[in-house]
Amino acid sequence: MDPRPNQHFLAEITDALDWWRLAGVDCDYVDDAQDWLAPPEEEELPPSEWRLARVENEAVAATVSEPRLAPEHFPATLADFAAWWMNEPLLDDGPPAMRIAPSGKAGAEVMVVVEAPEREDREALLSGPQGQLLDAILASLGLTRSQAYFASALPRAMPAPDWGDALQRGMGTVLRHHIALVAPRRLFVLGGNVLPLLGHESPQRAAVSRLFDHEGASIPLLASWGLDSLLNRPRTKPVLWRAMLDWMAP
């Protein structure tokens, strides 16, 4: 049998492959998108491995959905909270040196909770322009900083916080525990991203008055936009003032 026809056929195939390779096509492509990270379909596994794969996938999903901060590891007293807040590595992924501690005493007349420290904060929370506005708001109610407890939902200033990650890692549970330790007479929440951590919807108006119920206590809660928004929108002041009068009413 003459082998030359086969040699000619192989040479034609080689030439065709070389042509495609020179054209930059050296891989096999398909038009349908492929999810390379998806777990294998059960049909592709032998029946003996179906249950094992399902258990492994459920374990991974449970690990992702659970908060990374466990309440049993929270400080039991307010005296220990500030040190824990400044050093606990699971609170966020940034350097602890950039964190700002809360300040005030238990049983404060009002606990003020903002989303995060100001960029200007170094030694104390709300020591910049936003803090000056807050001082004016408190003064209009006849209150001073010494009568208030200042806290933030996040431990440090960030240009674009990931609030979904904050909720996932358990910062809402931390905030509720923090409020319970302070046990203030009233709660003043500033910033639309704080209320979801407490289980409420973000305020659609400049200020809304509600109640914060936790561990058998019911605390009058005033929720408003962030101090930066209040600084830039003078028209919100009358709305905030009316809500504050209702919030401060006996």
φ and ψ at 213, to 5 degrees?
Answer: -105, 125
* pLDDT score, position 7: 63
End-to-end CA distance of the chain: 109
Express each pLDDT in 40-63 by its tens digit. 444 444 444 444 444 444 544 444
In total, how many domains does the chain have? 1
Express each pLDDT in 190-212 by its tens digit. 998 998 998 877 666 777 878 88
Amino acid at 37: L
Express each pLDDT in 174-192 by its tens digit. 999 999 999 999 999 999 8
- Helix (H) / strand (E) containing 242: helix 236-248
Contact between 69 and 90 under an 8 Å Cβ cutoff? The reply is: yes
φ and ψ at 124, to 5 degrees?
Answer: -135, 150
Computed over every residue of the chain, the mean pLDDT equals: 81
If you search the block for the tokens 């830039």, which residue do you land on?
Answer: 232
Alpha-helical runs (H) found in 66-205: 78-87, 129-140, 163-168, 171-182
Greatest Cα-to-Cα distance within the chain, rounded to the nearest angstrom: 109
Write down how long the chain is: 250
- Sheet with 207-214, strands from edge to edge, namely 148-152, 110-114, 187-190, 217-224, 207-214
Residue 47 exposed, middle or buried by CB count within 10 Å (0-12, 13-18, 19+): exposed
Q: Characterize the bridge pairing of strands 217-224 and 207-214.
A: antiparallel
Instruction: Please report whether residue 66 resides in a domain.
Output: no
When pLDDT is averaged across residues 149-158 and rounded to a whole number, the result is 96
Greater pLDDT, 225 or 58 = 225
When pLDDT is averaged across residues 233-242 and rounded to a whole number, the result is 84
pTM > 0.75: no
Instruction: Please report whether residue 49 resides in a domain.
Output: no
Instruction: Please report whether residue 135 resides in a domain.
Output: yes
Instruction: Please report whether residue 103 resides in a domain.
Output: yes
Domain range for 189 is 75-248
Two tokens, residue 150: 């200042």
Nearest to 174 by CA among 97, 81, 94: 81
Express each pLDDT in 110-130 by its tens digit. 999 999 999 989 889 999 999
List, as one string, the DSSP characters of 52-104: HHHHHHHHHHHHHHS-SS-GGGS-SSHHHHHHHHHH-GGG-SS-GGG----B-
Express each pLDDT in 157-168 by its tens digit. 988 899 999 999
* pLDDT score, position 46: 47
* pLDDT score, position 63: 44
Q: Within 13 Å and on the Cβ side, how many CA atoms surround 176?
A: 21
Instruction: Please report whether residue 101 resides in a domain.
Output: yes
Instruction: Please report whether residue 61 resides in a domain.
Output: no
The domain that holds 207 is classified in CATH as 3.40.470.10
- Helix (H) / strand (E) containing 6: helix 4-22
Residue 177: how many CB atoms within 10 A of its CB? 19
Amino acid at 241: W
Residue 27 exposed, middle or buried by CB count within 10 Å (0-12, 13-18, 19+): exposed
135 contacts: CB under 8 Å, gap ≥ 6: 145
22, pLDDT greater than 70: no
Instruction: Please report whether residue 175 resides in a domain.
Output: yes
Instruction: Please report whether residue 32 resides in a domain.
Output: no
